[in-house]
Amino acid sequence: MKAFLAILKRDIYLGLRQGGGAGAGLAFMLSVLVLIPIAVGPDQNLLQRLAPGVMWLALLLAVLLTSEKIFQQDFEDGTFDALVGANLPLELTVLAKALAHWISVSLPLALMAPFLGILINIDMSALAVLWMAMTLGSLALSLLASIGGAITAGLRRGGLLVALLVMPLYVPVLIFGLSATLAQNGPSGAGNSLIVLLALTMISLAIQPFAAAAALRAYLK
Amino acid sequence: MQVLANPHRFFTISNRILPFGWAATALAFAYGLYLALVASPADYQQGETVRIMYVHVPSASLALFIYVFMAIASAMALIFRHPLADSAAKVAAPLGAGFCFLALATGSLWGKPMWGTWWVWDARLTSMFVLMLLYLGYMAVWRAFDDPQRAASLARIVALVGVINIPIVKFSVDWWNTLHQPASILRKGGPAIDASILWPLAMMFVASALFFLCTHLLLLKNDVRARKLRAEQMKAMDKR
């Protein structure tokens, strides 16, 4: 447990202080937000319809773009060998690193994203549900991104491959993350979608340690 | 399965099977295509376009089946270290992607006259599209690494995570949007399709499946040879 917390703490500090984390992610999301009205036209009604989806996409891409950071750097400077030799199963090490990525990158972005939506005329009544869904979903986003990050840890330019591998895994998260916003005025309310989103997060939590650890072990041989 | 672990025995057995396999494939296709294109009736609503189904449905189901096969082979490689399992999964991927593409393309050609559009983001189309992406990702992993051993270990994970993902994607997009007709062959209370259409369909499925099996065996032989060749080349390099 001590080792787990130590890795968690180290990676959170690295994520917050090193740059290229949540701050760069925020700037990235802002730049996506500028392009959207330019791409589809400045019609306020259209932007309002698109807003929740656009915010989810921006969050998803920002998380994906930072996924390389989770393992690659440790891999290159040799820290990884020390982590493997540490008194902690690799499964827990990778979980700690994914959680650190969530706390230092995805979670702050998810907390901010709905409010950035104000720039594209997001429906204020949808804000609370969107905010909850994004907060919940961001953990799944980080966990799944870390699987992709682990698979491509030893590749020089794995960015496109990560996107190709992780995007299909993001489909269900995106669907239920958005359906929460759409369903909030319907008969069943947003609760069901949020519960499914929670289930997806739990599944990712169960799979991630084994998949990411197995991927990193492939590099050890 | 362990019998096939010896490459020599694998070659003996596959060489014995393949000629019969090809013959059966040719016969099945000849009979199946005759049934599908000539003998079966045109649909009273859809007219002749219904014949697209005889390629579309077998391709779609094989595309799914082959991914599951890849995942099982990957699991066997992981659990039993079967020497052929990684190669079996590797060479199945392009075939599965081919069937997947065929299903999407024929579906699109069918959709134009029937639905009035080449493509709609309906649930089944979307999940087949995602399946195509899974195939592409899997093949990209094999291509991304120089060391075949490392590529194999990573590709296994991709295949296994993908196979967990398939039902989840299926469930979520079904829930999301549905325009495509629901399953009409495998369902409670027997098939909802008339026998005059079901038989040609079954025959075409058998033919496509046989085609997959024979091509897969051929590609697997190729891959085993290529691996051996590589090993010999490496040895020769070491000596120099």
Average pLDDT over residues B118-122: 82
* Alpha-carbon span B220 to B88, nearest angstrom: 6
Shortest CA distance from B126: residue in chain A: A171
**pLDDT value, residue B110:** 87
Average pLDDT over residues B109-137: 87
Nearest Cα residue to A15 out of A105, A87, A133, A80: A105
Report the first-to-last Cα separation within chain B, whole angstroms. Answer: 38
Instruction: Return the HEC string of A126-169.
Output: HHHHHHHHHHHHHHHHHHHHHHHHHHCCCCCCCHHHHHHHHHHH
Whether the Cβ atoms of residue B160 and residue B71 lie closer than 8 Å to each other:
yes
Which is more confident, B81 or A108?
A108
Average pLDDT over residues A84-108: 91
Asked if residue B50 has pLDDT above 70, the reply is: yes
Which is more confident, B179 or A21?
A21
Residue A115: half-sphere exposure toward Cβ, Cα within 13 Å: 7
Length of chain B: 240
Backbone angles phi, psi at A152, to 5 degrees: -100, 15
* Alpha-carbon span A131 to A114, nearest angstrom: 6
* Alpha-carbon span B142 to B157, nearest angstrom: 12
Predicted confidence (pLDDT) per residue in A125-167, tens digit: 888 889 999 999 999 999 999 999 999 988 877 788 999 999 9
Choose from A42-46, B154-158, B234-238 the range with maximum mean pLDDT: B154-158
Burial class (CB in 10 A: 0-12, 13-18, 19+), A85: exposed
**pLDDT value, residue A204:** 94
Share of chain A above pLDDT 90, in %: 47
Lowest mean pLDDT segment, chosen from A19-23, A97-101, A123-127, B87-91:
A19-23
Nearest Cα residue to A219 out of A76, A100, A101: A76
Whether the Cβ atoms of residue B24 and residue B210 lie closer than 8 Å to each other:
yes
Give the other-Cβ count within 10 Å of A210's Cβ: 17
Predicted confidence (pLDDT) per residue in B9-24, tens digit: 888 888 888 999 999 9
Asked if residue B215 has pLDDT above 60, the reply is: yes
Average pLDDT over residues B168-190: 66
Whether the Cβ atoms of residue B64 and residue B131 lie closer than 8 Å to each other:
yes
Which is more confident, A149 or A185?
A149
**Nearest CB to A161: which of B134, B140, B156?**
B140
User: Given pLDDT bands bounded at 50, 70 and 90, which one contains residue B187?
Assistant: low
**Nearest CB to B158: which of A151, A154, A171?**
A151
**pLDDT value, residue A29:** 92
Angle between helical axes of A22-40 and A107-116 (0-180°, round to 10): 30
User: Given pLDDT bands bounded at 50, 70 and 90, which one contains residue A102?
Assistant: very high
Please give the structure tokens belonging to residue B138.
Answer: 């899997």
Residues of chain A with C-beta less than 8 angstroms from the C-beta of B176: 175, 179
Report the first-to-last Cα separation within chain A, whole angstroms. Answer: 27
Q: Do residue A221 and residue B164 have CB atoms under 8 angstroms apart?
A: no
**Nearest CB to A164: which of B136, B149, B154?**
B136
Residues of chain B with C-beta less than 8 angstroms from the C-beta of A151: 141, 154, 157-158
Q: Calculate the alpha carbon distances from A136 to A107, A178, A196, B225 in Å.
A: 9, 12, 11, 49
**pLDDT value, residue B182:** 58
Q: What is the ipTM of this complex?
A: 0.88
Q: Do residue A207 and residue B136 have CB atoms under 8 angstroms apart?
A: no
Please give the structure tokens belonging to residue B19.
Answer: 């000629």
Shortest CA distance from B159: residue in chain A: A165
**pLDDT value, residue B196:** 76
Helices assigned H by DSSP within A18-126: 22-40, 44-65, 68-77, 79-85, 90-101, 107-116
* Alpha-carbon span B71 to A200, nearest angstrom: 21
Residues of B with CB under 8 A from a CB of A: 130, 133-134, 136-137, 140-141, 144-145, 149-150, 153-154, 156-158, 160-162, 164-165, 168-169, 171-173, 175-176
Average pLDDT over residues B221-233: 89
* Alpha-carbon span A128 to A120, nearest angstrom: 16
**pLDDT value, residue B179:** 46
Give the other-Cβ count within 10 Å of A195's Cβ: 13
Whether the Cβ atoms of residue B183 and residue B192 lie closer than 8 Å to each other:
no
Task: State which amino acid sits at residue A176.
Answer: F
Nearest Cα residue to A94 out of A196, A219, A179: A219
Which is more confident, B161 or B10?
B161
User: Given pLDDT bands bounded at 50, 70 and 90, which one contains residue B185?
Assistant: low
Give the other-Cβ count within 10 Å of B208's Cβ: 23
Residue A31: half-sphere exposure toward Cβ, Cα within 13 Å: 8
Question: Helix, strand, or coil here: B40?
Answer: coil
Q: Give B30's contacts (C-beta < 8 A, 6+ positions apart).
A: none
Which is it for the CA torsion B92, B144, A66, A143, positive or negative?
Answer: positive
Burial class (CB in 10 A: 0-12, 13-18, 19+), B194: exposed
Average pLDDT over residues B112-132: 85
